[in-house]
Chains A and B, each alone.
Chain A
Amino acid sequence: MRRVWWFTATARTKARFVRTIFGSFWLGLSNLLSIGVLASIYYTLFEYEDFNSYVVYLGIGLVVWNTLAGAISSAPNLFEQNHNHVHNTNLNPIFYTLEEWAFQLQTFVQSFLLVILVLSIFQYDLFANLLIVGWLPLINLFLFIYWFPVLLCVLGARYRDLYQLVPIILQLIFLLSPILYEKKMLGAKGWTADFNPIYQILKPVRHSMMSGELHIGQGLFLLGVNIIGIWIALRLINRERPNLPFLI
């Protein structure tokens, strides 16, 4: 069924930008617009000295955050949105999670590549760092945006409050995560970033691309966490499968 969920995800991406002039370039353009505006404001606000470094720091953080937030915010309602097919076809519910994951991946890749291309003006070795050391943090990001939303979509099918709660929590996490600012500015409250799971996925992607360094131990640890997370998510979805048509 891999070809099916990949195809339907691609079809969704195409449908999203039908009748627009720039098509899927809007994914990158919208991110670049946000980066440009936020960078010019917060660079002044936080009194950074090096604009080039800050815009790259903000840009990578923002595009990765947007992917994480997009995957997480769409999760609680995933089965509800597909309720017609859940009730009338015998597709394994995992299909819908994989389709959503493919959609988020495609969205990320299209926006990420354009953003990195533009940010290379400010730091020329971004692409090289991405290819040499950025692969493990990216793999961890891709795995995380599968299993964590799966947990939320299964819980969201049962607990309808979650759909209301997730956007609020995401806003708070965004403000608590060193995306617009550096972690050292949190001072004594820096521990909040250490216990922030979403920031812990985002940080290695940004760090590896900006510095060209890979913390292999941290990367492998996160990989282990992701593998366990996928196992738990798949077990949960299989356990809830008999109930899903009756919950939505």
Chain B
Amino acid sequence: MLKPVVLRLEDVRLDIPVNTTETRSLKASLIRSVTGGKLSRRRGGAVITALQEVSCTVREGERVALIGHNGAGKSTFLRLISGIYQHTAGLLEARVRVFPMINKSFITSSELSGMQAIKAHYLMVNGNLRGFEAFTEDVIDFSGLGDFIHLPVKTYSQGMSARLLFAVLTACTHECLALDEGLGAGDSSFYERAQQRMHDFLSTTGTLFLASHSTELLRGFCQRGLVFQEGRIVFDGPLEAALAHYHKSA
């Protein structure tokens, strides 16, 4: 029996305007409005078509790899399906909330403690504090920060920040996850535990979109591959076939 559709795109296009000084100057806009445009220079700047003719249907539970060179449109696609960008044309139907993990960072200031960073993230994901204590215990235990959790994040080493961020991001489950590259896990001594945690985290995710240049990562978690080239999906099929297509055209 086919699982329900969670995401459907039909001929989706995304144009990104390149705003110039002319279009962002209050003075130029006022002059244009007064003169009726007769004395204005050509209005607007360039428009970049970041995605075009993008069509695909994704069902619940699918693990989809996004493959392509830098600038092919993978991250843009992730932002589009997460609702960060809104499509210019075509049909995009998202029946679940897509959680983006693109640029991973804390949402609170580094002057605040790790505990406050955890709380802010939890509230953002869940909207309430039910289950927060268990969540916090899990994060503190896994990250190994102990009492440091009450100190400002800016006092942490890079490894400590990375471990805390990794622990926080992998402690929640999501209906649908849009993940750009993997998650940095800090120092090598943490690596093995992080691998298992990452595996468990992605296993519990409902539907997964994973953009990565790492073939190993993609093979570990995905069964289907979308190959992007110049903003288009040029291949949509089983992962191995997608990787073969990508390497052949590279």
Q: Identify A8's interface contact among B79, B98, B105, B107, CB under 8 A.
A: B107
Residues of the B chain whose Cβ atoms lie less than 8 Å from the Cβ of A18:
111-112, 152
Decide: A3 and B19 in contact? CB cutoff 8 A. Answer: no
Decide: A90 and B83 in contact? CB cutoff 8 A. Answer: yes
Which residues of B169-189 are within 8 A (CB) of A? none
Residue A217 interfacial (CB < 8 Å): no
Known interface pairs A4-B124, A88-B100, A165-B26. Does A15 touch B109 (Cβ–Cβ under 8 Å)? Answer: yes
Decide: B108 and A8 in contact? CB cutoff 8 A. Answer: yes
Tell me the smallest distance from the CB of B151 to a CB of chain A, in Å.
Answer: 11
Which residues of B36-65 are within 8 A (CB) of A? none
Which residues of A83-99 are within 8 A (CB) of B? 84-91
Residue B220 interfacial (CB < 8 Å): no
Decide: A159 and B82 in contact? CB cutoff 8 A. Answer: no
Residues of the A chain whose Cβ atoms lie less than 8 Å from the Cβ of B17:
243, 246
Residues of the A chain whose Cβ atoms lie less than 8 Å from the Cβ of B26:
159, 161-162, 165
Known interface pairs A3-B127, A159-B24, A165-B26. Does A246 touch B120 (Cβ–Cβ under 8 Å)? Answer: no
Within the assembled complex, what's the spacing in Å between the Cα atoms of A15 and B112? 6
Decide: A88 and B103 in contact? CB cutoff 8 A. Answer: yes
Residues of the B chain whose Cβ atoms lie less than 8 Å from the Cβ of A84:
103, 105
Residue A21 interfacial (CB < 8 Å): no
Within the assembled complex, what's the spacing in Å between the Cα atoms of A161 and B29? 11
Decide: B103 and A161 in contact? CB cutoff 8 A. Answer: no
Interface size class of A (residues with CB under 8 A): 20 to 34
Q: B114-133 vs A: 1/0 string, CB under 8 Å?
A: 00100110011001110000
Q: Chain B CB within 10 Å — which of A1, A7, A91, A247 has the most?
A: A7
Tell me the smallest distance from the CB of B172 to a CB of chain A, in Å.
Answer: 14
Residue A183 interfacial (CB < 8 Å): no
Within the assembled complex, what's the spacing in Å between the Cα atoms of A1 and B119? 13
Known: A4-B124, A90-B83, A246-B17. 11 other contacts (CB 8 A): A3-B123, A3-B127, A3-B128, A4-B120, A15-B108, A84-B105, A87-B79, A91-B124, A161-B25, A161-B26, A241-B86
Decide: A7 and B16 in contact? CB cutoff 8 A. Answer: no
Decide: A87 and B111 in contact? CB cutoff 8 A. Answer: no
Decide: A90 and B98 in contact? CB cutoff 8 A. Answer: yes
Q: B19-30 vs A: 1/0 string, CB under 8 Å?
A: 100001111010
Task: Jot down 18 A-B pairs with beta carbons below 8 A, ordered by A.
Answer: A4-B124, A4-B127, A11-B108, A11-B120, A12-B109, A14-B116, A18-B111, A18-B112, A84-B105, A89-B100, A90-B99, A159-B25, A159-B26, A160-B24, A160-B25, A161-B25, A242-B86, A247-B19
Decide: A161 and B27 in contact? CB cutoff 8 A. Answer: yes
Tell me the smallest distance from the CB of A122 to a CB of chain B, in Å.
Answer: 37
Residue A245 interfacial (CB < 8 Å): yes
Tell me the smallest distance from the CB of A15 to a CB of chain B, in Å.
Answer: 4
Residue B102 interfacial (CB < 8 Å): yes
Within the assembled complex, what's the spacing in Å between the Cα atoms of A84 and B108? 12
Tell me the smallest distance from the CB of A17 to a CB of chain B, in Å.
Answer: 10
Within the assembled complex, what's the spacing in Å between the Cα atoms of A72 and B112? 26
Decide: B102 and A88 in contact? CB cutoff 8 A. Answer: yes
**Nearest 5 A/B pairs, CB to CB:** A15-B111, A242-B86, A88-B103, A161-B26, A90-B83
Residue B190 interfacial (CB < 8 Å): no
Residue A203 interfacial (CB < 8 Å): no
Residues of the A chain whose Cβ atoms lie less than 8 Å from the Cβ of B85:
242, 245
